[in-house]
Structure 1
Amino acid sequence: MKSSMGRVERDSIGEVMLPHHALWGVQTQRALENFPITGIPISHYPELVVALAQVKRACAQTNADLGVLARDKAEAITAACDAIIAGDHHAAFCVDVMQGGAGTSTNMNANEVIANLALQAMGHDHGAYRHLHPNDDVNRSQSTNDVYPTAIRLATLSYAETLLSSLSTLVEAFRAKGEAFAHVQKVGRTQLQDAVPMTLGQEFHGFATTLAEDIDRLRDLGRLLTEVNLGGTAIGTRINTPDGYAAAVVDALSKVTGRDLTPASDLIEASSDLGGFVMYSSALKRVVIKLSKICNDLRLLSSGPRAGLGEITLPPAQAGSSIMPGKVNPVIPEVVNQICFQAIGNDLTVTMAAEAGQLQLNAMEPVIFYKVMETMTTLTGGMDVLTTRCVQGITANEARCAELLEGSLVLATLLAPVVGYDAAARLSKTALTDGITLREACSKVGLDAGALGLA
């Protein structure tokens, strides 16, 4: 029903006034009013919007093929989905990413937008649902409980490709520095104490290696998200679906997405289990723990510039102080540290939300998706910045590395096999007590430093 103020739509609760040209409907409008939580609409994650349209397209095609949806309606729904997949109308996906209802508001936002786009193409007004209905047609043979879990898996897999590309680029940047610094001798340290000699190249190559391990790990765990419960509808019993629908719709979705998707072997279990997200989030946490440790190391190695270690110089990004002239801070590693702290907290949220499901459904899926995507997007941005504005511009302070190595006692370890552990320890203590080098300590006790390999 239309009025001068807009159009009126009804649901089981009552009437709602909508703008005439709004692509969404009554259930979306109620969600906008009920969940003004983060200010982040689901369109903030275009991968989710595209995934929803891919699911709806596959469902419409399968319903038409099985004879439970008129072909003209299926074609109109498919055309609407294709436009959304191409990037159109994303602003109409406006419900908050945080919501109660296990994703029902997100699913209905998609159903209503697709229905109104299809109605428009069929020559009908928005809201004229007697011609094509959001629930009866767009959502036919579906439930939020299989659509939403499937869509958030697809969205996560889609963005994962961007994250892995950024991670790979960062690994290569560290690897390149490892090669460039291979000749730079320096002090290796354990527990912040001088330990044994090493090269700066070995240190940076270690950074590359530890991060590279997780590229394959993330890819492997991503395969857990290719198992979907689409076709199970409400709780996995396949209620309100035609014979053969579950297998056919997953096959159709595989073709739409270009992904090798697998129907869950137990749709009841798959409707409530979020173990795949727990594992994937945990793998992301593993990455950020390593990355934060590396950023800590970069800050330590560049500390100074004159009263710290000062073995490397980070490219200056901005003035570091409003009061101390000339001070330059390691702001890029610092921001990446903070991104990593946030990701670790997000993993705890995912863990608690996955545990919080009851019986045949976990209603906490929205926060799981939100926090996994928040981690992936901020981590990707952080890795890109770390690569381009920090790692690629790092230079070695070779003179400082040589100075610290010469003045350290780390070469005592090399003496132990020659003169024995106790004698090497006495030499080290003598050098430390007298404030001299290990080479000078050898001369003091009558040992030939050159013959011992300290020349």
Structure 2
Amino acid sequence: MEHDLLGDKQVPADAYYGVQTARALENFKISGVPMNRYPEFVEAYAIVKLAAARANKQVGAMKADRLSGIEKAVEAVRAGKYHDQFLVDWYQGGAGTSANMNVNEVLANIGLEMMGHKKGEYKYLEPHDDLNMSQSTNDSYPTAIKVSILLRNGALIKELENLVAAFRAKGNQYLEIPKMGRTELQDAVPMTVGQEFHAFGAALEGEIQLLKESEKALYTVNMGATAIGSEINVPKGYPKACASELAKLTKKPIVAAHDMFAATWDQQGFIVYSSALKSLAIKLSKIASDLILLASGPRAGLNEINLPALQPGSSIMPGKVNPVIPELMNVIAFRVIGNDAGVAVAAHSGQLQLNAYEPLEVLSILESMNILTNGISTLNTKCVSGITVNEKVLARYIETTVGIVTALNPVIGYEKSTELANEAYRTGKGLLEIIREKKILTEAQIKDLLDPVKLSNLDKKKYKK
């Protein structure tokens, strides 16, 4: 039996959570997705509590034995233990208060057992007085969100780097294979397959840089702001000490906010990082859609590349194989774009000294990070690494295309080149065929002026390092 301002309430004897978590479990039966679905958030919140406890000890507010109990509890949670006790639904009112109390209660009861006491013997380690010392949900919850993103960002970047390497390797493999480039889905001018794949890699490298830069918007925290930024109930020196402890624990340059009032309601960090995820999603979706188009057919489409065949593509059409992994990447991208819209709406809906809608922001961002990380890995290992090129198809396109006529502008002029192009379209003949028939160029000139690899302006040194 536990007690809070609403009265007495029974809590399961084997539970490590307490009365406020028990009430939240009854009040917020919404998504069925508990806090522990994203273990990095559980770990992040535990890190925040540890940093706060150590800072409180530094400024003389916390006793050594209680810090020891908290440290042991946090160590266990960071090792992956007790995660089944973090059960509050992600969809909750109260600006994250239920999540904060879930963490406070569980860590307190774990710590009590490790100190040789029974769960619920809060006179030795108390969820409010000790685990929430010098804190409010309004500073610990947004800080936990930031730490959870920082803990996960490296894994996302690593998978993205692996995908870039796969595209670069594929680019080198087919570096000198010519093909037609297209603009607005119409034949344009020649390029090489290698240039196309290297461009995919280069574009994603820009997203890696953006993720690294956007992370910096999360380094400033409002620990010590407590309720609204006035630092009520906070010992002198605590905010700086807590930020310093967080920096040590995360190995990130975390600092205390200069203006705690602004930092308590400001959502810039979440908006910036979510926007970076959206940018990445859009880039991945564009690339995935290109792969789908390039592999279309195979007999009645572009058929320039082959994607690995992973599963039958139809319950009615024998032999059909679909581009399921690029399609999956698009589904993921669409979800991330939607999540970013949710972050934007939640961020702009805060009122006065607090934003109560941060639970939606953290859920949206962590889900986006999770599905992007897994999706990028899948795109790499089950699609990009196994792509092959249909060189005969590409050669036929080069031979029959009208697009290389652009290279003749400096030689015979734009008007004459246009006439050749129109004749090719009208007769269905290839441009090279017409040039040979009309003896406009010699074979030596054709080889010199219309060599598709030469027209692609390929710089081998640029790619093969």
Q: What TM-score does the superposition give when structure 2 sets the normalisation length?
A: 0.94
1:237: which partner in 2?
Answer: 230
Q: Is the 8 A contact 1:439 1:449 kept in 2?
A: no
- For the pair 1:47 / 2:12, whether they are aligned, the reply is no
Equivalent residue for 2:122, pick from 117, 125, 129: 129
- SS of the residue corresponding to residue 411 of structure 1 reads helix
Supply the RMSD in Å over aligned alpha carbons. 1.2
- Quick check: 53-62 or 100-109, which moved more? 53-62
Amino acid at match of 1:328: V
2:288: which partner in 1?
Answer: 295
How far did residue 449 of structure 1 move? 4.8
- Structure ranking higher on relative contact order (CA contacts 8 Å, 6+ apart): 2
- Quick check: 68-77 or 400-409, which moved more? 68-77
1:279: which partner in 2?
Answer: 272
Q: Distance in 2 between matches of 1:93 and 1:337?
A: 32
Amino acid at match of 2:58: D
Q: Is the 8 A contact 1:182 1:202 kept in 2?
A: yes
- What's the CA shift string for 1:391-433, capped at 9, x where partnerless? 0000000000001111110110111110000100100111111
Amino acid at match of 1:282: S
Equivalent residue for 2:326, pick from 317, 330, 333: 333
1:201: which partner in 2?
Answer: 194
1:344: which partner in 2?
Answer: 337
Q: Distance in 1 between matches of 2:33 and 2:136?
A: 24
- SS of the residue corresponding to residue 275 of structure 2 reads helix
1:254: which partner in 2?
Answer: 247
Q: Distance in 2 between matches of 1:252 and 1:205?
A: 42
- For the pair 1:318 / 2:311, whether they are aligned, the reply is yes
2:409: which partner in 1?
Answer: 416
1:102: which partner in 2?
Answer: 95
Q: Distance in 2 between matches of 1:198 and 1:53?
A: 53
How far did residue 253 of structure 1 move? 2.1
- What's the CA shift string for 1:118-173, capped at 9, x where partnerless? 22123322122233211011111110011011111000011111100011101111
- For the pair 1:12 / 2:5, whether they are aligned, the reply is yes
2:391: which partner in 1?
Answer: 398
2:213: which partner in 1?
Answer: 220
Equivalent residue for 2:83, pick from 81, 85, 90: 90
1:438: which partner in 2?
Answer: 431
Equivalent residue for 2:375, pick from 376, 382, 401: 382
How far did residue 33 of structure 1 move? 1.0
How far did residue 446 of structure 1 move? 4.2
Q: Distance in 2 between matches of 1:233 and 1:446?
A: 84
Q: Distance in 2 between matches of 1:33 and 1:182?
A: 61
Equivalent residue for 1:305, pick from 298, 302, 313: 298
Amino acid at match of 2:74: C
- SS of the residue corresponding to residue 164 of structure 1 reads helix
Q: Is the 8 A contact 1:24 1:113 kept in 2?
A: yes
Amino acid at match of 2:153: A
- Quick check: 189-198 or 431-440, which moved more? 431-440
Q: Is the 8 A contact 2:295 2:305 kept in 1?
A: yes
- For the pair 1:358 / 2:325, whether they are aligned, the reply is no
How far did residue 114 of structure 1 move? 1.0
Q: Distance in 1 between matches of 2:16 and 2:96?
A: 19
How far did residue 54 of structure 1 move? 1.1
Amino acid at match of 2:318: P
Unaligned runs of 5+ in 2: 452-465
Amino acid at match of 1:388: T
- SS of the residue corresponding to residue 308 of structure 1 reads coil
Q: Distance in 1 between matches of 2:365 and 2:302?
A: 37
Q: Distance in 1 between matches of 2:55 and 2:192?
A: 61
Q: Distance in 1 between matches of 2:37 and 2:154?
A: 17
How far did residue 326 of structure 1 move? 0.7
Q: Is the 8 A contact 1:168 1:212 kept in 2?
A: yes
How far did residue 221 of structure 1 move? 1.1
- For the pair 1:28 / 2:21, whether they are aligned, the reply is yes
Q: Distance in 2 between matches of 1:281 and 1:76?
A: 36
Q: Distance in 2 between matches of 1:239 and 1:31?
A: 26
Q: Is the 8 A contact 1:321 1:327 kept in 2?
A: yes
Distance 1:210 1:454, change over 3 A: closer
- For the pair 1:112 / 2:108, whether they are aligned, the reply is no
- Quick check: 122-131 or 98-107, which moved more? 122-131
Q: Is the 8 A contact 1:47 1:159 kept in 2?
A: yes
2:175: which partner in 1?
Answer: 182
Identity of aligned pairs, percent? 50
